[in-house]
Structure 1
Amino acid sequence: MLPTVRDLTELTRLFEAGRDEELYVRWSRGPEVDLADSGTSRDGLTGIALPGLSANSLRLERWWHDRSLRLWLARRLYDYEHLRDLRSPGVRPWVLRGREIARGPDNEPLVVDVQPLAWVADEVLQEAQLLVNEQGSREWGPMDRRVPR
Structure 2
Amino acid sequence: MTTFTDLADLVELVEQRGPELFVRWSKGPDADGVGCGEQSSRDTLTGVRLPGLSANPLRVEPWWGDRPLRLWVARRLYDYRHLRERRGPEVRPWLIEGEEVSRGPDNEPLVICHRPVGWIADEVLRECERLVDQANGADRWGPLDRER
TM range (shorter): over 0.9
Shift of residue 67 of structure 1? Answer: 1.0
After TM superposition, the structure 1 stretch with the greater mean CA deviation from structure 2, 67-76 or 136-145, is 136-145
State the identity %. 56
Shift of residue 8 of structure 1? Answer: 0.9
Letter in 2 for 1:22: E
Distance 1:40 1:114 in 2: 13
Residue matched to 2:53:
53
Unaligned runs of 5+ in 2: none
Q: Report the secondary structure of 1:10's partner residue.
A: helix
Letter in 1 for 2:140: E
Is residue 141 of structure 2 the alignment partner of residue 143 of structure 1? no
- Runs of 4 or more, structure 1, over 4 Å off, are none
Shift of residue 88 of structure 1? Answer: 2.2
Contact kept, 8 Å, 2:42 with 2:48, in 1: the verdict is yes
Residue matched to 1:29:
27
Shift of residue 89 of structure 1? Answer: 3.0
Is residue 77 of structure 2 the alignment partner of residue 107 of structure 1? no
Letter in 2 for 1:107: N
Contact kept, 8 Å, 2:100 with 2:112, in 1: the verdict is yes
Letter in 1 for 2:73: L
Residue matched to 1:18:
17
Shift of residue 113 of structure 1? Answer: 4.1
Residue matched to 2:6:
7
Q: Report the secondary structure of 1:26's partner residue.
A: strand
Task: State how many pairs are aligned.
Answer: 145
Residue matched to 2:86:
86
CA shift digits 1:95-116 (9 cap, x unpaired): 1111111110111000014311
Residue matched to 1:134:
134
Shift of residue 13 of structure 1? Answer: 1.4
Distance 1:136 1:69 in 2: 16
Letter in 2 for 1:5: F
RMSD, aligned CA: 1.4
